[in-house]
Amino acid sequence: MALTADSRDLLSARPPLRRRLTNGVATAIMMAAALTALIALLLVVFYLLKKGAHVITWDFLTSDIPRNVRAPAGGVYPAIIGTLVMTGGAAAMAIPLGILGAIYLNEFGKQRPLARFIRFMADVMTGVPSIVMGLFIYTIWVVRFHSLSGFAGALALGCLMLPIVIRTTEEMLRLVPDELRQASQALGARTWRTTLAVVLPAGLSGIISGAMLALARAAGETAPLVFVAGIVFEPNRTLSGQNTALPVQIFRNASQPFPGAQERAWGAALTLVAIVFAFTLLARLISRRFSTGPR
């Protein structure tokens, strides 16, 4: 090859047309894929607003659930309360336990066989279908105590949240630089003190946002609640006794042909999505605003 041709190639380093075309087509396909996801999201949100927005009134949000699904009006107030009470109960159980478990994995267990096994099984547990979790709570709680209750629902949701909290918290603890731990130890602080007073606060924003994502997922769960939580038509602000939740109301109303039921389903769906999106976006905001990153 002549020297001049070589240097000209280097100067105008442009691949031949066919290769550039392939590259362009591939890039376009990737963009189209991202666009598909956008369209799917927009379609769902559009119909939620179209069919749900006019249903949501102060009355809808504060009235009791009608006992008859054919009834034209009524509201979802008891379901909103039930969702808050049961996900709240689940969070109160799963978040402390999950954070403690993550502390074990990252601060004590590290790469020991037991810790690696627990870490692996926590990952596997995130894949357990929610309906199986519901059956599990049914068999150990409802069958044993012969009662459907909001507490059983909270237990099921808590089991679903636990592995998510453990894994996200551990990721955050791993980002806390070792120098902080060493500095704390050098001041004479015990491991428990170092962990609670130095490591946890350092990773707090990430832990909170992970917990909120888990909460958002639990709030949208339907399947386990359908057969462990029972049904109520008036608000039940406690975990004892039967309860209901927004997803359950959507499910019960969705397959009913009556216009009133359809309206309640869409209204409840919009309410639920608003709650869940608020949690998700807040979680992202918290993790972005306060994230310190690897220092």
Partner 1 sequence: MTTATADVRSSGPGDALTARDRGALGDHLFRWLALTAGLTVLAILALIAFSTTQQAWPALSQAGIHFITSAQWIPNDVDGSGPLKPSFGALAYIFGTAVVAVISLVLAVPVSLGIALFVTEVAPRRVRGFVVTLLDLLAAIPSVVFGLWGLAVLAPNIVGFYGWLHRVFEPVPLLGTLFGPDANGRSFMTAGIILAIMVTPITTSIMREVLLTVPRTDRDGALALGATRWEMIRGVVLPHSFGGLTGGVMLGLGRAMGETIAVALTIGASAQITGNLFKPGNAMPAVIVDQFGEATGDFRSALIALGVVLFVITILINVTARAVVSRAERRLQGA
- Member of 8, 73, 108, 233 binding partner 1 (CB under 8 A): 108
| Shortest Å, Cβ 32 to partner 1 | 7
Axis crossing angle, helix 259-290 with helix 204-219, rounded to the nearest 10: 170
Question: Toward partner 1, which CB reaches closer, 185 or 238?
Answer: 185
List Cβ neighbours of 71 (8 Å cut-off, separation of 6 or more).
260
Q: State which of residues 74, 82, 203, 247 lies at the interface with partner 1 (CB under 8 A).
A: 247
272 binds partner 1 (CB under 8 A): yes
Residue 236 vs 249, nearer CB to partner 1: 249
Residue 27 has a CB neighbour count (10 Å cut-off) of: 10
40 touches partner 1 by CB under 8 A: yes
The token pair at 185 is 């130890």
> What's the rounded Cα separation, in Å, for the pair 95 and 44?
31
151 or 238, CB closer to partner 1?
A: 151
Residue 258 in the binding site for partner 1 (CB under 8 A): no
Q: Among residue numbers 174 through 203, which ones bind partner 1 (CB under 8 A)? A: 187-193, 195, 197
Beta-carbon contacts of 55 under 8 Å, excluding residues fewer than 6 positions away, are 263, 264, 266, 267, 270
Output the smallest distance, CB 65 to partner 1, in A. 16
Give me the least distance between CB of 293 and partner 1, in Å please.
15
| Segment 58 to 97, residues that bind partner 1, using CB under 8 A | 97
In the structure encoding, which two tokens stand for residue 94, read together? Answer: 């799963």
Considering only CA atoms, which of 130, 80, 95 is closest in space to residue 275?
A: 80
Choose, by CB under 8 A, the member of 31, 53, 71, 274 that binds partner 1. Answer: 31
Q: Which residues 131-170 are close enough to bind partner 1 by CB under 8 A?
A: 131-133, 135-136, 138-140, 143, 159, 162-163, 166
Question: Which DSSP string do the residues of 101-129 spell out, in sequence order?
Answer: HHHIIIIIITTSHHHHHHHHHHHHHHTS-
